[in-house]
């Protein structure tokens, strides 16, 4: 009987490995192998057809810190990160709290309206915002008709306003996406907890800060890590909304990496791979910090 049980167990384990093998092979071929090859490429230089080892091998990694345009792209990306991510997550939590109210009518409609922007194509919404904030666009028409502006303003032609447009576009696109996670977390909290706090005389603010936020901590950490990861890899808005301009003042790291690989006919894959791994390391470090800060275990 024991021998038969072992035989059945061995067959089940073997069957499990057989089912896992196709996905494992595809994952290695499509993901891990390219990552390893990109790491090797990051230590090489020259045209793609005649690449050779850099001298010294870490030259691409030291070069990026001497590249003023790349450092500008790093600064731009972190500016978007520091401004947009906190505002987006705070708005997402507040919207989730409002739309989780059991007495609110038409909740499904309002939730759909808030979530709908993230179902829009990245390219499409970037082009829509580009037309909205064009010199002859809708925003200029509204602001001039209200008397806020005396004449049309070139939002996308000025560095400060162009960055502001990108941040506004990101908030519109991704706030609803994060709201869904918070809404799911709130629905897992018993409503009796809020009723007990109300009976004890807790204000809405104390209830939110002392009950909602602590219970949503795992969700907040998850959305924060995802938002950091997404913002550090920001690409579509820089390419389609401002084209990195004016004068590369809004270019992001991913946009600059793309330009070095394909966008400007440079095909500098060694340098682009090194910059990509720099972004990867940044994402890993910031994710580790967030997980450490959010870890409440003793």
pLDDT tens digits in sequence order for the chain, 298 residues long: 455 555 777 888 888 888 889 989 998 898 889 889 989 999 998 877 788 898 888 999 999 999 999 999 999 999 999 999 999 999 999 999 888 887 788 888 888 888 888 888 888 888 899 999 999 999 999 999 998 888 999 999 999 999 999 999 999 999 999 999 999 888 888 877 877 888 888 787 888 888 888 888 888 988 998 999 999 999 989 999 998 989 899 999 999 999 988 876 677 889 999 999 999 899 888 888 877 776 655 4
Q: What is the largest CA-CA distance in the chain?
A: 90
Residue 164: closest CA among 242, 99, 271, 107: 242
Q: At what angle do helices 59-66 and 269-294 cross, to 10 degrees?
A: 80
d(CA 104, CA 112): 14
Residue recorded with tokens 């829009």: 120
* CATH class given for the domain over 68-294: mainly alpha
pTM of the complete model: 0.86
């Amino acid at each position: 009987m024991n021998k038969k049980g072992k035989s059945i167990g061995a067959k089940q384990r073997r069957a499990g490995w057989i089912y896992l093998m196709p996905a494992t092979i595809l994952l290695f071929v499509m993901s891990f192998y390219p990552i390893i090859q990109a790491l090797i490429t990051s230590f090489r230089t020259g045209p793609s057809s005649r690449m050779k080892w850099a001298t010294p091998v870490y030259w691409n990694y030291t070069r990026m810190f001497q590249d003023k345009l790349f450092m500008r792209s790093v600064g731009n990306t972190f500016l978007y990160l520091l401004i947009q991510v906190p505002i987006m997550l705070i708005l997402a939590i507040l919207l989730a709290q409002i739309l989780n109210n059991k007495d609110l009518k038409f909740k499904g409609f309002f939730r759909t309206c808030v979530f709908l922007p993230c179902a829009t194509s990245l390219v499409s919404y970037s082009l829509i915002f580009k037309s909205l904030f064009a010199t002859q666009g809708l925003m200029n028409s509204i602001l001039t008709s209200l008397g806020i502006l005396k004449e049309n303003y070139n939002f996308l032609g000025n560095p400060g306003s162009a960055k502001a447009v990108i941040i506004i576009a990101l908030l519109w696109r991704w706030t609803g996406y994060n709201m869904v996670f918070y809404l799911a977390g709130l629905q897992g909290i018993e409503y009796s907890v809020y009723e007990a706090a109300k009976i004890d005389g807790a204000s809405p603010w104390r209830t939110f800060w002392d009950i909602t936020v602590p219970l949503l901590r795992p969700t907040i950490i998850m959305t924060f890590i995802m938002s950091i990861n997404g913002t550090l890899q920001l690409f579509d808005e820089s390419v389609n909304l401002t084209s990195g301009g004016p004068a590369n003042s809004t270019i992001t790291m991913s946009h600059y990496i793309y330009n070095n690989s394909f966008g400007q006919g440079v095909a500098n894959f060694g340098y682009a791979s090194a910059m990509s791994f720099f972004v990867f390391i940044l994402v890993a470090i910031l994710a580790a910090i967030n997980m450490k800060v959010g870890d409440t275990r003793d």
